[in-house]
Amino acid sequence: MANKKGHPTGQVHENVPGVLYIVKEVYDKKFGDSGHSDWVPVKIGLAYGDYRAGVMREKEHKTGSSAKKVTLCSFCVDEDTEIPTPEGTRGGVYEMEQYLHYIMGRYGWENVGSGTEWFAIPRVVADMCSDIEAAKTGADIKFNWAKCPELARAIAYAPSEKDIPALDESRTYKMSRGKKINTTRTESGRSKMEERIDKDMPRKHRRDYMLDRGAVSSVNKP
């Protein structure tokens, strides 16, 4: 698993809910046609908060580069989610991000660029991500989960935002760039009391879905 000290944002909040998003780079044809390559540069990033927080983070990554960035999918991660590591990890959005980075390394998909969050993955895996996202929003579409079952489970079985107590709309706060929910253990995030309440709240979703084996044949719709 990746070293937490190497997280590019410099912020590590263990076992808190949030949103993961996957974006790919699409290069301008003026610089050559990359549309026929079997490999796609993608980034798995996180936001310690709700989908609005994720959109803000995505926008930060989509500026300052000549390459167009397209979001393939985004999905929630609850706290105390069972992560299939050898030691048996229970974690949140940070731990899930680190696990998926680890999985990409195990598949031999190399880091690209100067950071640690961009990977060159097979185009068929990128297509799988966008297909699962489409299926979750109601499209009648098949997806090839076998290209990367671990990533397919993380996206397809992810809980709905409305079913995660920490992402309840009542936790929204205003900031200069808009509104969002912050799940960090900071002044603008969750209080200790809120965290204790959230952990005791019943869930509609399973938190051991990443331990499943076999076909990923369904999706958890938002």
Question: pLDDT tier at 60 (50, 70, 90 boundaries)?
Answer: low
Angstrom distance (rounded) from CA 79 to CA 73: 20
Question: How confident is residue 8, by pLDDT bands cut at 50, 70 and 90?
Answer: very low
Q: What mean pLDDT do residues 121-126 have?
A: 96
- In order, the DSSP letters of 44-55 are EEEESBSHHHHH
- Using the predicted structure, report yes or no on whether residue 1 has a pLDDT greater than 60: no
List pLDDT tens digits, range 99-114. 999 999 999 999 987 6
Q: Classify 168 in phi/psi space as left (phi over 0), alpha (psi -120 to 50) or beta.
A: beta
State residue 149 phi and psi, 5-degree precision: -60, -35
In SS3 terms, 73-115 reads as EEEEECCCEEECCCCCEEECHHHHHHHHHHHHHHCCCCECCCC
Q: What is the pLDDT of residue 21?
A: 93
> What pTM does this model have?
0.88
Q: Which residue has the tokens 């808190």?
A: 16
Domain chopping of the chain, boundaries: 4-161
